A and B are shown apart, each in its own frame.
Chain A
Amino acid sequence: MKQVAFSGDLQRNLQTIVARTYVRIVGSAREPSWLLWDTVLPMLTLSAYVYVYKVMNAPREFTGFVIVGGAMIAFWLNILWDMAAQLYWEKETGNLEPFLIAPISRMAMLMGMAIGGIFNTTLRALGIFIVGALVFQVEFLIGDPVAATLVFTLTFASLYSLGMVFASVFLMYGREAWHTSHLLQEPIYFLSGFYFPVKFLPFWLQVAASVIPVTFGLDAIRKILILGAGLSEVSLHIIVLAIFWLVLFFMARWLLQYMEDHGRREGRLTLRWQ
């Protein structure tokens, strides 16, 4: 009997993941203006930083560092706005109640958002890579496909798990969720070295940056894509990213349950515009 119930739950949650992913992908496809807003225009800010390196006579690989950083910004923004702030947004628009009433796992719902988000954002990041290669002649190297696959998978897994942690915390927030998401932009771009390798930061800032998974993911991706590094050169990154993923995934699961219970007791799950 228990086995039948488990199988039913599993099927329902898999359907939830597919359904939430579908909404994300179809939602973006309905309004293609994101191609301009999310791919072409952000490339202009990146180009400004590329020109700064040119003015400074920096070696060519620094152009590649900026382009890779710009592609990762697309993922970071997706995590902040389409993962972390999403449950808050659902609460504000009145959709949270149906989600909570439905007999589905919250993690399945968030996982659907994450997969849809990764799909959409990968298209945007690819656009940035293509423009970087065509306009700024950046050469991308994948010398070791195994290392590349491991690093990309673990980076996204840990980042989107962090997004789930934020989503559970922001569920309890009022409008400060929005402002906190804004606050997690430039300071993280700076600390995690989105536009320059993090090794150039002072030691104490590097220590602070090491608690952010994107710092390791970005560094490893740059080493693989721009400097042609292999598995042995990014093995430490892979171990750290795997630890981040495990810790953040279970933290998200626990926090989501805790925050939902807390919200039910305090009656904050249906508060809007506070």
Chain B
Amino acid sequence: MKDIARSFSRSVWLGWKVDANWTDPWLFAIYSVIRPIAGMLIVIFLLLVGSQVGGNTDPEYLTYVFVGNTFFILVAQIMLSMGWVIHEDREHYEVLKYIYISPASFYVYLLGRACSTALMALVSVAISLLFGVSVLRMPIDFLSVNYPALGLSLIIGLVAIASFGMILASAALLTARHGGGMVGEAVSGIFYLFCGVLFPVSVLPPWAQVLSGVLPLTYWMNAIRGSMFGVGPAEIVNDLTVLAGFTAVFYLVSMGVLRLADYLARDKGLIDITTEH
């Protein structure tokens, strides 16, 4: 247990160093804030343009989208990081083989890297929320937020996101590097479309609603919105229960998938491949 804790904390620390020590803290902070805020502005303008040309001017929908898009930063960042970490370690720093032969568990190492990204993404979420409320005048009352429910939703949700990230990292073990690691962003599109981030899932076709129903992040989005708008615990409990159940399933699946990918990668000699195109 002590070894696992040490491996985990070292990999969180390593993730932080890799992501942050390329520049001074101020420039790093600016880089970290601009991207999520620009992402938020895209969606806000999309709604403003849509309401201007389409006539739908429901202000509650704007807040719905704002909260969904802001917390989605966690999904986007973790998936981006987990889709790239294998290629970065394998081809850029050429250390994947050394991590493999170290006594640390590879699963724990990847979890630590996901945790490091999650901590940085949480800061981006907080800044985006503050930006939305103070600059864009989003009607969110921070005093009426159900913080215990929000905290619980975040913890369970982050485990679910990390599990999906682990499945993506497993796929990366078996595939070549494409572009700049945009694979994670592309995969997070699944959750962006099907989990009620920008619109209620009832808008989707019936087959897509079935898919939404088995993705834990659909319930995570509901629980986050419920917590942010101060909905009572009884209404959030249902979402949290389903979220926890699905998260447990996907966590176990991610462990199995990583084990399988690890076996295949060793078998095919992919642990230290490089792609030069």
Contacts and interface: CB of A to CB of B under 8 A. Distances in A.
B42 interface: yes
B178 interface: yes
Given A57-B55, A59-B54, A93-B91, A38 B176 contact: no
Interface string B160-191: 00000000000000011011101101111110
Nearest to B204: A51
Interface in A44-59: 44-45, 47-49, 51-59
Contact of A186 (B38, B199, B204): B38
Contacts of B207: none
Interface stretch (B2-10, B221-229, B269-277): B269-277
A227 interface: no
B47 A183 contact: no
Interface centre among A26, A200, A201 (most CB of B within 10 A): A200
Nearest to A175: B22
A137 interface: no
A45 B193 contact: yes
Interface in A147-185: 174-176, 178-179, 181-183, 185
B204 A38 contact: no
A37 interface: yes
Nearest to B21: A175
A258 interface: no
Nearest to B44: A190
A226 B270 CA distance: 45
Overall SS of chain A's interface: helix
A241 interface: no
A150 to B, nearest CB: 28
Interface string B232-251: 00000000000000000000
B102 interface: no
Given A37-B175, A37-B178, A80-B180, 10 more contacts: A37-B182, A41-B189, A45-B189, A48-B192, A52-B43, A52-B47, A57-B54, A58-B54, A85-B180, A201-B45
Interface of A: 23-24, 26-28, 30-31, 33-34, 37-38, 41-45, 47-49, 51-59, 62, 77-78, 80-82, 85, 92-93, 95, 174-176, 178-179, 181-183, 185-187, 189-190, 194-197, 200-201, 273
Q: Which 5 pairs between the two chains have the least Cβ-Cβ distance? A: A27-B277, A56-B50, A81-B180, A44-B189, A41-B186
